[in-house]
Every structure is written in C-alpha cells, then in structure tokens.
Amino acid sequence: MISEKMETALNKQIALEGYASYLYLSMASWCDKEGLEGCAKFMHRQSEEERMHMLKIFYYLSEVDGHALTPAIAQPPHEFDSVKALFEEVYAHEQKVTASIHGLLKIGYEENDHTTLNFLQWYVEEQREEEALMRSILDKLKLIGDGPQSLYYIDMEVEKVNAMAAAAEGAEEA
C-alpha cells in the first residue's frame, strides 16, 4: 500500500511527464516547419519516451494499490526563437524533471518506502542520461554556431544522435 502523500506526488510526476511528452511533440512540429528533419525525428522520439515514463508511473501506482490519475495537460509553447533556444528549453525542462524525481526520493526516504525508492532508481539513472545528452547537444550547438548555414550541420549532428539511439534500441531488443 502506498501512502497518500506519495500517491499525490507520483500523480504530479505523471502530469510532468505528460507535459514533457506534449512539449517535445510541439517542438517536433516546430522543427518540421523549420525543415530540421533530424531534430524533428529526435523530438518525436523524446515525446514517445516521455509518454513511456508517464505510463510507467501510471502502472506502478496500480501495482501498489494506488490510484493513478490522467492529467490535464497545459498547452506547451509552439514557437521558438531558434534551435538553440529550443534545446536550452529542453535542457531546463529535464533539470526540472530531475529535481522533481529528487523530491519523490525525499518523500520515499521520509516514509521509509523502499518499494517506491527502488522503483525510482530507474528514473534517477534515466535523468542523468537525459541531462548529459542535452548538454552534449548544446555543446555541439555552441561549436557549430547558430548562423543560417549552420542549421544543416546542427540537424546532421542530431540525426547522428538518432542513429545511435536506434542502434542502442536494436541492441536491447536482440
């Protein structure tokens, strides 16, 4: 049985993950509009991944006799000043998600909820990876610059990230 406090906090995390999925979907649409095919594909994949994160918590709450709530999701922004501004927003959002996961861990420790602490360890590792990935993309953006001709190179670099992710997913399935 999960505590009411932890159930409420996990439901807030469901909403945060759902918002992230919609935010990245909105970003994918903007990238499509800007002709950034590699970036659009990356954001579509990120959107699906965030949806999976949301559902993982949703199912967990059911397993521990909690009540998962479907969240109302706020409209994310749909215009961005540049691809650099877009990835800066992604990085800031991932940092927000990390802080939220840490808040869940704090509740778990306070309540001696070892089951949820164990469940959340996957999210701790996932967030470390997400933040590192976004920092590496931002580092590449700084190197390439943000002039009009550099968008092609930025898109190619993000497409390389897509290819590496697809290869890793294929290796996991094998």
Averaged pLDDT for residues 90-96: 97
Q: What are φ and ψ of residue 37, in 5° steps?
A: -60, -45
Averaged pLDDT for residues 159-167: 82
At 2 the pLDDT is 96
- Is 17 within any annotated ligand binding site? yes
The band of 63, judged by pLDDT with boundaries at 50, 70 and 90, is very high
Averaged pLDDT for residues 75-85: 94
Rounded-to-integer distance, Cα 151 and Cα 149, Å: 6
pLDDT tens sequence across 29-62: 999 999 999 999 999 999 999 999 999 999 999 9
pTM as predicted? 0.89
- Is 131 within any annotated ligand binding site? no
Residues 15, 21, 23, 29, CA torsion sign:
negative
Alpha helices in 64-149 (DSSP H): 83-110, 114-144
- Is 78 within any annotated ligand binding site? no
- Would you tell me which CATH number, out of the four given (1.20.1260.10, 1.10.260.40, 1.10.15.40, 3.90.1070.10), belongs to the domain 4-173? 1.20.1260.10
Residue 91: CA count within 13 A, CB half-sphere:
15
- Is 93 within any annotated ligand binding site? no
At 174 the pLDDT is 63
- Is 127 within any annotated ligand binding site? yes
